[in-house]
Structure 1
Amino acid sequence: MKSLYLSLFSLAFGLAILSCTTAGNTASLPQATLPDTPLFKRDTISITAVGDIMIGSAYPSKSNLPKDDGINSFKEVDTFLKGDIVFGNLEGCFLNSGKSTKCKDTSGNSCFAFRMPERYAGIIKNAGFNLMSIANNHVGDFGLKGREKTVQILDSLNIHYAGLQSHPFSLFSKDSVRYAFCAFAPNENTVSINKLDSAKALVAALKAQADIVIVSFHGGAEGARFEHVPRKNEIFYQENRGNVYAFAHGVIDAGADVVLGHGPHVTRAVEVYKNKFIAYSLGNFNTYGMFSLKGPNGSAPLLQLKINGKGDFLSADVVSVKQDKVRRLTLDTNHTAFYKIRSLSNTDFPGHQLDFSVKGRISLKNN
């Protein structure tokens, strides 16, 4: 029976991965070691989640690196980067050298191509991160070389990741809990957010092997004009950035326990659907250099999410942070991100069952 189950599971995985790739791509199933720990239900699992991370790019010049060489990038918030899972979106690649064909302007005035020095990966690891999405529009800024170096470094640091067609998912165990993680984006060489049936097939296959399935997406239009969650495809710069509402609900229908969104560079609403938590955009968390930090782009949440052993939402503490070009990443005593989440959730999801009455805390209303 066990061998039959594993055969069926392998078949489901193969079909899911095959359908996630683009035409002509022959990416094979990654050789993941499936955890064989017994099913174990803990009372509470803690997931800390943030949005985009790019702590300094050496391209097109070293002037886009912080003066402290990134060492203090997380100094003001590192006491909050704790949990069973500490997640962020890696908005760029790790690579020491090379030019990007993406940018014609190499003066640094309008070139949005990011390669963090390889040594910066250790700074991110030491800050506490153990799970990262690499499904976004900047992981491929330096082509195959940048993507391959990035996954090599993440592997060496034991940081779990997913999102490339060559690395669509990750399976791992921590403290007797079996986790699965997959990530999606609308960009080349990433697992597509716009192929919902394929995404659901992958999530369902992962759920067959994991206690907790975490899904990440990089989707939606960008900037302060796009804080709200529309229930339709978002077209931005003539690119289909996905229907993030349909995507989030679809992967939860398929078995996802937590959905973490990023991409718009601003904070968006949160929702609990079928007892599962969705963050539609976690904004710019730590983005040095070329990123706009004006207005809503400069504030973001650091979410400390609690779920039970079944993956159901219990509560979330929202630590509001802010960035500017001088002080960089700091705590926001005005709680801007929390109040923004409350306002947008009330507007975008009227009738929700979330309680925002305690400052900095999201919980379920008492029925």
Structure 2
Amino acid sequence: MPGASKPVRIILPDENDNKVVVSFAGDTVLACSLENIVKDNYSYPFANLACFKDSDLSMLNLENPITARGIKVPKEYNFRMRPDYIKILQDGGIDIVNLANNHTGDYSTQGIEDTLRYLDDAGIKHVGAGLDRADTRKPVVIECKGIKIGFLGYYNNPDFAGGTNPFNERVLKYPAR
């Protein structure tokens, strides 16, 4: 690929700067074959991604439920993250996750319930999923260096995944009302 060998240059503000650095990552699956590599080395997945720890806030799209329970929903691919792997997100510096995607409900309502509980217990904020429509649409507002930043999670796919927040332009314009 052209340019693939060029290093990415990350510029972080000085400690006394009031600018807020927010890092984002796309689809992140902490399941399946990863378990054979990570085992109990929780720092491994983010070991070379210091930008998340060095940022003021870090968010990713968590593309799997966090559960050991639940009924597998009939579909081609189902992902499920081990509950102890919540430590991967904590060690990686992840502050908030988006759950509005096609895999959060892979292990039914129990899987969604567990995911929300594990994230809450770990102090990791979440958007885009819940046990009812109102919960899926709740924004998360985080204040950092005196600046309030709002986060929303939407899922834009005609095959709506239960427990997640489908994209709706009207709702997106007025989410906090």
**What is the CA deviation profile of residues 274-326 of structure 1, one whole-angstrom value per residue up to 9, with x for unaligned ones?**
xxxxxxxxxxxxxxxxxxxxxxxxxxxxxxxxxxxxxxxxxxxxxxxxxxxxx
CA contact (8 A) 1:56 1:66 kept: no
- How much has 1:43 moved relative to structure 2? 4.5
Give the gaps of 5 or more residues in structure 1.
1-41, 58-62, 104-110, 207-367
Which deviations, in whole Å up to 9, do the C-alpha atoms of 1:106-130 show, x marking residues without a partner? xxxxx41011000111111111000
Q: Would the aligned equivalents of 1:70 and 1:123 in 2 still touch at CA under 8 Å?
A: no
Which residue of structure 1 lines up, in the alignment, with residue 12 of structure 2? Answer: none
The aligned counterpart of 1:233 is none
Match of 2:118 among 145, 153, 166: 153
1:158 to partner: Cα distance = 1.3
Q: In the TM superposition, what are the counterparts of 1:159-238 in structure 2 within 5 Å?
A: 159-164=124-129, 165=133, 166-168=135-137, 169-185=139-155, 186=157, 187-188=160-161, 189-193=163-167, 195-202=168-175, 205=176
- Match of 2:80? 115
Higher relative strand content: 1
Length, aligned pairs only: 149
The residue aligned with 1:138 is 103
Partner residue in 1 for 2:61: 89
- Give the drift of 1:151: 0.8
Shift of the alpha carbon at 1:97? Answer: 3.3
Secondary structure of the 1:132 match is strand
Amino acid of the structure 1 residue aligned with 2:38? D
1:76 aligns with 2:48: yes
Query: What CA distance in whole angstroms lies between the structure 2 residues aligned with 1:138 and 1:181?
Result: 20
The match for 1:44 is 19
CA contact under 8 A between 2:71 and 2:108: conserved in structure 1?
no
- Tell me, yes or no, if the aligned pair for 2:69 and 2:111 is still in contact at 8 Å: no
Change (3 A) 1:137 1:100: same
Check 1:135–1:70 CA distance in 2 against 1; reply closer, same or farther (3 A cut): farther
- Structure with max Cα Rg: 1
- CA drift of 1:64 comes to 6.3
Aligned partner of residue 25 in structure 2, secondary structure: strand
Dislocated runs of 4+, deviation >6 Å: none
- SS class of match (2:26): strand
Tell me if structure 2 keeps the 8 A contact 1:56–1:70: no
| RMSD of Structure 2 on Structure 1 (CA) | 2.1
Specify every segment of 5 or more residues in structure 2 that has no aligned partner in the other structure, as ranges.
Answer: 1-16
* Structure with more contact order per residue of length (Cα contacts < 8 Å, sep ≥ 6): 2
Give the drift of 1:70. Answer: 5.9
Shift of 1:191: 1.9
Deviation string, structure 1 residues 46-101 (Cα, Å, up to 9, x no partner): 111111111223xxxxx662233262122222x22121111100001000134413
